[in-house]
Amino acid sequence: MAKAALGKELLVEAQDKKGMLAKISSAIASAGVNIRAICACGEKGRAYFMMVTSNNSKAIKALKPLRFPVKEKEVVLLVLEDKVGAMEKVSEKLSSKGINLKYIYATTGGNQKVCSLVFSSNNNKKAIEIIQKCRI
């Protein structure tokens, strides 16, 4: 069954150049913080790293010396059974109730038979309510 909760991700902005991910992940790891999920993209010379960590406040503190802009944003943390059609059911249900996903990133859990998703929508709290009410 799907489980959804509000969470926080970090949005780190940096120059889009070689080694930025290594620099950012090294700073976070040095603080003893785990990156649990990450999505990155580059556009017009800028790189954007969206990540869920085990301790955002420690990660922010560790990134401060790098002088990259860092924001903390509300997201939905969703755990689904890792099976064919699970994402289809969730996305159809959210869409039918007026929820528009702004972005989403995910990972599977390998032997755990679950996948973890991170998303932001036009109404995160309503999205969680919808997911909790349906049997997915």
Q: What is the pLDDT of residues 32-59, one digit of tens each?
A: 999 999 999 999 999 999 999 999 999 9
Burial of 86 (0-12, 13-18, 19+ CB in 10 A): middle
Per the prediction, the chain carries an average pLDDT of 95
Name all contacts of 88-94 with Cβ < 8 Å and 24+ positions apart: 89/134, 89/136, 90/2, 90/131, 90/136, 93/130, 93/131, 93/134, 93/136, 94/121, 94/127, 94/130, 94/131
Whole-model pTM: value is 0.90
At 107, the pLDDT band (50, 70, 90 cuts) reads confident
Domains, the chain, with CATH or none: 8-74 (3.30.2130.10), 75-133 (3.30.70.260)
Res. 27: pLDDT tops 90: yes
